[in-house]
Amino acid sequence: MGRWYKRSVLQEEQRLYSRAVKARALPGQAFKFSDSVSLTGGYFKDLFEVSDVPIEGELGSVCTMATTRGTCSILLVLSSLVMYGGFCDCYEYGDFVTNSTPPPVSGFALFESYYNYSCPQAASIVNDLVDKILAADLNMAGGLQRLHFHDCWVNGCDGSVLLNSTSHFVAERDGFTNFMIRGIPEIDEIKAAIEDVCPGVVSCADILALVARDATYKVGGPWWPVLLGRRDGFVSLARNADTNLPFPNLNFDELVQNFAAKGFSPREMVILSGSHTIGRSHCNGIQPQLYNFSGIDDLTNPALDPTFAAGLRQQCPKGNKENIVDMDPTKNVFDDLYFKEVLAGKGVFSTDSALITNPLGLQVVTESSTPGSTFFQEFADAMVKMGNIELLTGTSGEVRKHCQFIN
């Protein structure tokens, strides 16, 4: 059962009801309240004496509320909630439940069926093109997955990582911490295909979220519900990327601080680090661990396995930033081998090695490396949560026609 966070304001509930009863029916969209759950001190139970209040137009399905104490569900609410102060500020984990604090969320809740009427082909177009991209180069799975992280960690999940630099500003994608990102041309290809069918409907931010899930799943990773309804942002600055994204030389405490700023626990930080089980990296992010560990020139991380460290130095000679290294031996399979490699002193990044320098980090890495662990479910859980960071929804932002340019 999903976990939800709700805020209600009586005045806005009354306004919502007034608007809802005047609207015409849209198939499959209706309020449904059970007798077993009382919302807002019983207000809705008293107000809605009928079981269905159909809605349409600017009223649309925004969220499905579920509680562990009853069977109340709401298949509905305004697709313009942000204009009215908000009836339902929901945060869904689908089938995955977590006890952690939700990330900052603004405006509307997201929901899986956001494009069911406006662009029902969107998910299948993404799925088919991700298949095509991975068939041509399976190494792209890691890059496509990480684009979503690099987007959400800077200004929230607003597609800002995709914007081009201009004569007036240097964009996120050209920042130091985004030196290694891949997949932007592939996102452009997917966006163009969707625009041909549903022009001006599906945001680039939502495409990134769908692509990250599909790319992960297609190389053996978990499936998770992708909640939709994000809007694209207008601001993309390299300095924001370099301020927010974790540098590859952070220690454990610095990683915890970085993730806490986005609402994530130390455990979730370690779990999300498991994304390094797929893909490749440029030597740019590996050099600090080999030649400048702890800021000391020519010092290699002493925690690294000596043979592994020697191999890395061969692949990444000092000063070489362009060579590419596999993240783990099964770079095209999403599995738990990453955690086994970290325990063996074979983490590619300094941040990988840092995970086991703390008792909690060591515990999570050890647990995640064992057969039958909860790593896949926890990773899926964390990805849903990540997709809800600092959202632009409703009338905020825009839906870009081309992901690299503001309309």
Quote the DSSP letter at residue 11. H
Q: Which residues are annotated as a binding site?
A: 151, 154, 156, 158, 160, 172, 246, 276-277, 328, 335
Q: Which residues are annotated as a binding site for Ca(2+)?
A: 151, 154, 156, 158, 160, 172, 277, 328, 335
Helix/strand/coil (H, E, C) string of 342-393?
HHCCCCCCHHHHHHHHCHHHHHHHHHHCCCCCCHHHHHHHHHHHHCCCCCCC
**Is pLDDT of 73 > 60?**
no
Q: Which one of the listed residues 148, 150, 168, 282 is annotated catalytic?
A: 150
Q: Which residues are annotated as a binding site for heme b?
A: 276
Q: What is the pLDDT of residues 348-387, one digit of tens each?
A: 999 999 999 999 999 999 999 999 999 999 999 999 999 9
* CATH domain 122-236 topology: Peroxidase; domain 1 (1.10.520)
CA end-to-end span of the chain, whole Å? 39
Higher pLDDT among residues 103 and 57, named by residue: 103
Helix-, strand-, coil-residue percentages of the chain, each rounded to 5:
45, 5, 50
pLDDT-above-90 percentage for the chain: 68
pTM above threshold 0.85: no
* Residue 274 to residue 374: CA distance in whole angstroms: 12
* Cα-to-chain-centroid distance, residue 307: 35
Q: Do the domains 122-236 and 243-386 sit in the same CATH topology, yes or no?
A: no
Q: What angle do CA 361, 366, 367 make, to 5 degrees?
A: 100
Q: What is the pLDDT of residues 16-70, one digit of tens each?
A: 434 443 343 333 333 333 333 333 333 333 333 333 333 333 333 333 333 333 3
**Is pLDDT of 76 > 80?**
no
Lowest mean pLDDT among 153-162, 197-206, 294-303: 294-303
Is 148 designated active site? no
Domain at 243-386: CATH code: 1.10.420.10
Q: Which residues pair with 31 in a beta bridge?
A: 74
- In the chain, domain spans: 10-84, 122-236, 243-386
* Residue 105 to residue 103: CA distance in whole angstroms: 6
Residues comprising the chain, all counted? 407
